[in-house]
């Protein structure tokens, strides 16, 4: 087993401390494009480098519904704990080799959640109007970020039975991400989540958009996603930030 796979497996282990938040990520889609490693490197803060798979790097758009978001030990609140999210991400390592995610943006339709995430986690949340709906076996998500004229629309359904990604595969490299990095007060920080491995299916896309990538100013691929997957969801524990290795 190569070192990169070992590091991703190690990141899966639950941190040995009390969780900060609990939540569920429900009915996710994962779209990925191969992209230029140099373009990714240009947007990263000091201390992070692109995490490559077989010499390639990837940009992802991930959409889902967040359910029951609440502090550890407290109940969910109907007006705060349930909302939609669409994020644009690339895959990175810090100076110690720790693998994780760098977010270009995270669109969310709950104003207080946007403010909390920006303030306490240093994440680039944006307020947007989002819908997440089921139509039989198909799911849809629409995202309209404030300040932009056109919405991003997605429609997908599962094509294959769900199964965890096999270690060492490209899908494992993309899906098995339990760390994210942010910068707050000029310091590189690492956030951690813990959940069971995603049960993933190949997804059939009938509608997709690169619009969020354009909103973020990243070079567009100008083509359909190279890879499309979906998952029914996972229960998640989120932990406090720790220093990253710059």
More confidently predicted of 119 and 24: 24
Task: Classify 93 in phi/psi space as left (phi over 0), alpha (psi -120 to 50) or beta.
Answer: beta
Q: How far apart are CA 216 and CA 239, in angstroms?
A: 27
Report pLDDT digits (tens) over 53-107.
Answer: 999 999 999 999 999 999 998 888 777 789 999 999 999 999 999 999 999 999 9
CB 50 within 8 A of CB 100: no
> Which helix (H) or strand (E) covers residue 210, if one does?
none
Give the number of other CB atoms < 10 A from CB of residue 23.
20
Residue with tokens 């941190």: 15
> What's the pLDDT score for residue 120?
86
Report pLDDT digits (tens) over 234-244.
Answer: 999 999 999 99
Residue 2 tokens read as 């190569």
Helix (H, G, I), strand (E, B) or coil at 46: coil
Cα distances (Å, whole numbers) of residue 120 to 115, 138, 185 = 8, 35, 11
Average pLDDT score over residue span 182-198: 96
Q: How far apart are CA 118 and CA 208, in angstroms?
A: 27
Q: How far apart are CA 116 and CA 118, in angstroms?
A: 6
Q: Which of 36, 85, 26 is nearest to 61 (CA)?
A: 85
Report pLDDT digits (tens) over 27-40.
Answer: 999 999 999 999 99
Helix (H, G, I), strand (E, B) or coil at 23: strand
> What's the pLDDT score for residue 214?
96
Q: Which domains does the chain have, with CATH numbers?
A: 3-243 (2.40.400.10)
Q: What is the mean pLDDT of the chain?
A: 95
> What's the pLDDT score for residue 83?
94
Q: Which of 2, 8, 3, 13 is nearest to 165 (CA)?
A: 8
Is residue 21 over pLDDT 90?
A: yes
Is residue 112 over pLDDT 90?
A: no
Is residue 1 over pLDDT 90?
A: no
């Amino acid at each position: 087993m190569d070192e990169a796979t070992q590091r991703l497996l190690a990141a899966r282990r639950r941190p040995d401390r009390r969780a900060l938040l609990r939540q569920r990520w429900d009915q996710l889609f994962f779209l990925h494009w191969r992209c230029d490693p140099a373009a990714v490197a240009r947007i990263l803060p000091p201390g992070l480098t692109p995490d490559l798979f077989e010499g390639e790097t990837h940009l992802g758009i991930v959409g889902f519904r967040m359910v029951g978001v609440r502090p550890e030990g407290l109940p969910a609140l109907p007006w705060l704990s349930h909302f939609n999210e669409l994020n644009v991400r690339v895959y990175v390592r810090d100076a110690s080799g720790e693998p994780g995610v760098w977010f270009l943006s995270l669109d969310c339709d709950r104003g207080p959640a946007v403010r909390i995430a920006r303030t306490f986690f240093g994440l680039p949340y944006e307020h947007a109007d989002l819908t997440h709906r089921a139509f039989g076996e198909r799911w849809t998500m629409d995202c309209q970020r404030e300040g932009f004229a056109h919405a991003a629309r997605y429609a997908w359904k599962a094509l294959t039975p769900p199964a965890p990604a096999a270690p060492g595969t490209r899908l494992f490299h993309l899906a098995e991400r339990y760390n994210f990095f942010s910068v707050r007060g000029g310091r590189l920080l690492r956030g951690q989540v813990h959940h069971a491995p995603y049960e993933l299916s190949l997804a059939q896309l009938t509608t997709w958009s690169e619009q969020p990538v354009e909103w973020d100013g990243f070079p567009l691929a100008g083509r359909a996603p190279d890879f499309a997957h979906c998952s029914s969801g996972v229960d998640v524990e989120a932990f406090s930030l720790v220093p990253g290795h710059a």
